[in-house]
Amino acid sequence: MNKPWWKDKIVYQIYPKSFADSNGDGIGDLKGIIGKLPYLQALGVDILWLCPVFCSPMADNGYDISDYEHIDPMFGTDEDMTELIAEAKRHGIRILLDLVINHTSDRHAWFQAALRDPESPEASFYVLKKGVNGGPPNNWRAIFGGSVWERIGETDLYYYHTFAKEQPDLNWENPVLREELYRMIRGWLEKGIAGFRIDAIAFIKKDPEYASYPPDDADGMVAVQRGGENQPGIGDFLKELKEQTFSKYDCLTVAEATGISLDEVAAFAGPDGYFSMTFNFLLCDIDLTGDYRWYEPRKWDAKDFRKCFFDVMEATSSVGYGPNFFENHDLPRSLNHYIPEEDIGFMSASMLATLLLTAHGVPFIYQGEELGMTNAGRSSIDEFEDLSTRDQHERAIAAGVPPEQALLYMNQRSRDHSRTPFQWNAGPGAGFSTGEPWLKLNPNYVTVNAEAEEKDPDSILSYYRNLIRLRKGYLYNVLCDGDLREYKTGDSDIIAYTRTNGTESVLIAHNFSSSDTTLPLGGAYEVLLTNGPAPDFTAGGAVLKPYQSVILRPENGPIAEGGARN
Ligand code: TEU
Ligand code: CA
């Protein structure tokens, strides 16, 4: 399999608005990121994925772009981006930008022209349709709530939006629009960025019938995914997109292609795939029912998690590399998402770190995950900034969920949790800003912060740094180049696998439970790394403490499946 330049890299996702504020306006910016490059280099970061910093009215915090060619003044200037790319390179770090081409902002010049004249060339850049029987063209529900159709003034013309009404979808059926996008994409690649994370790309193809479907809820609507996600024919667009842009550069492209099945991973991210890699959502949506209602959570356990993990490993490692992640800007913090409240701490955080950094594929660390940052509970729905949270709350109340329970569900799942300002130190504003931060800090910054953890050899940050050093050094061959095979551990809650490259082999195991559990072993092993005390080796194997991870090397001979040694 081809060995792309990015296969052994560490990717770090930054939500620029919440990372570092250089001018005291309470909003993170590019100069703030430039100032933190030494911190990122010390962590071992190779690639930075920046959430969108283009001009935006911020209805969806930058995922509503009004000008693809320029940096929004709140984040700085175009020259700041040029400086960031150059400075990052000096620190051995490359930049991925966030490409949002399913939709623009409703303030984009194209959309404004379309509103002024539905017969204008720009109007054909969007999906405009006449209403039916005095109402919207069909009954599809947008991801941020309500109809996907927004009426244009007093006319009987509507425009389509997968997400919020401030995010009109682009009409990918129009080759002139597509060429405009390709030109913009090539322009950014010419500026020396390493590539893109591609936003919501599975929504660019809609069922051309735009037929209504039987409702999936009391509101008489059906989720937009039914006719507007990963529809037949999307591959033609994605193939052309790659041919006209990415394939002309040795760039990294990571798709947020929701709604694709594991057996479609090859088409999206195999050797001849549309993208370098494609995110998989099996693990991060393990706690959701089929239609993403936060107020109808799905119960899961460690065995469910283990099955999802190995299904994803199998699907991605068999065709190439997958982006492994436990956090992003749309998710709650992983410690709150995957670990029982009473078990949140160094052991569980370092177990998740070991899983993330030793799985097959490319690790994506989200800002603050390396510190063990956690959710910051809110006591009222009014304290939430995120439009998706507000919509989910409305739907919960409409479904008859009692307000306190609805608030609890929002506190479990809100996207705000990953957007609280980065916690640099215990000083005023956590070192994020000298001004009033745009989103409330998590009060635990007084103890959970980079400065304190950099000084503490037993901190979560120190653990990430050590393990990343090991991954890039002593364990490079098995972790960056080795295969991954499940290591059966019977009915326990242990997730275990081998990583093998030629004659080199290690066994990695995680006790995803709050009780001592024995990892069945045949033969003697050396402990290369663990987040806890050296395990007791009994006749049956190694006794792992709650949330203990181990990287073991067999003292002689390869490791057979299931613990027996040949
Ligand atoms: O998220 C896409 C997104 O929200 C959908 O994948 C949704 O989560 C899924 O279909 C279940 O409902 C991207 C960005 O990550 C997010 O921050 C933006 O709000 C969104 O697109 C719109 O650009
Ligand atoms: Ca600022």
Give the single-character DSSP code of 533.
Answer: S
At residue 557, does pLDDT exceed 80? no
Atom of ligand 1 nearest to the CA of 202: 6
Q: Let me know the angle formed at the C-alpha of 15 by 9 and 18, rounded to the nearest 5 degrees.
A: 135
**Mind listing the pLDDT tens digit for each residue in 364-408?**
999 999 999 999 999 999 999 999 999 999 999 999 999 999 999
Q: Is residue 429 part of a domain?
A: yes
Catalytic one of 72, 199, 229, 386: 199
Question: What range defines the domain where residue 148 resides?
Answer: 109-160
Compute the distance between CA of residue 321 and CA of residue 336 in angstroms, rounded to an integer.
Answer: 27
Mapping DSSP onto H, E and C, the string for 434-475 reads CCCCCCCCCHHHHCCCHHHHHHCCCCHHHHHHHHHHHHHCCC
Quick one: average pLDDT of 65-73? 98
Report pLDDT digits (tens) over 320-356. 999 999 999 999 999 999 999 999 999 999 999 999 9
> Quick one: pLDDT band at residue 564, thresholds 50, 70, 90?
very low
Per-residue pLDDT at 213: 97
Task: Return d(Cα 307, Cα 305) in angstroms, integer.
Answer: 5
Average pLDDT on 38-44 reads 98
d(CA 520, CA 563): 6
Tokens of 305: 């998690």
Is any atom of ligand 1 closer than 6 Å to the C-beta of 254? no
Question: For residue 269, which of 45, 4, 483, 476 has the smallest C-alpha distance?
Answer: 4
**199 CB within 6 A, ligand 1:** yes
What pTM did the predictor assign? 0.98
Amino acid at 301: D
pLDDT at res. 98: 98
Please determine, for residue 565, whether its predicted confidence score (pLDDT) is greater than 70.
no
CA-based nearest residue to 292, from 100, 144, 102, 103? 144
Helix (H, G, I), strand (E, B) or coil at 333: coil
CATH number of the domain within which 501 lies: 2.60.40.1180
Q: Pick the atom of ligand 1 nearest to 100's CA.
A: 23
Asked if residue 4 belongs to a domain, the reply is no
- Kindly state whether residues 393 and 262 are assigned to the same domain: yes
474 located within any domain: no
Q: What angle do CA 478, 483, 488 make, to 5 degrees?
A: 105
Question: Is 478 part of a structural domain of the chain?
Answer: no
Percentage above 90 pLDDT, the chain: 95
Residues 346, 210 share a domain: yes
State whether 403 and 456 are in the same domain. yes
pLDDT on residue 290? 67
For residue 140, the domain's CATH number is 3.90.400.10
- Same domain membership, residue 493 and residue 383: no
**Degrees to nearest 5, angle at CA 337 with 331 and 339:** 155
Same domain, 148 and 264: no
Question: Based on the structure, what is the number of domains in the chain?
Answer: 3
Is 552's C-beta closer than 6 angstroms to any atom of ligand 1?
A: no
- DSSP, collapsed to helix, strand or coil, labels residue 31 as helix
Same domain, 98 and 118: no
pLDDT, mean over the chain: 96
Q: Provide mean pLDDT across the span 212-221.
A: 96
Q: How do residues 311-328 score in pLDDT, each as one tens digit?
A: 999 999 999 999 999 999
152 plus 292 within the same structural domain: no
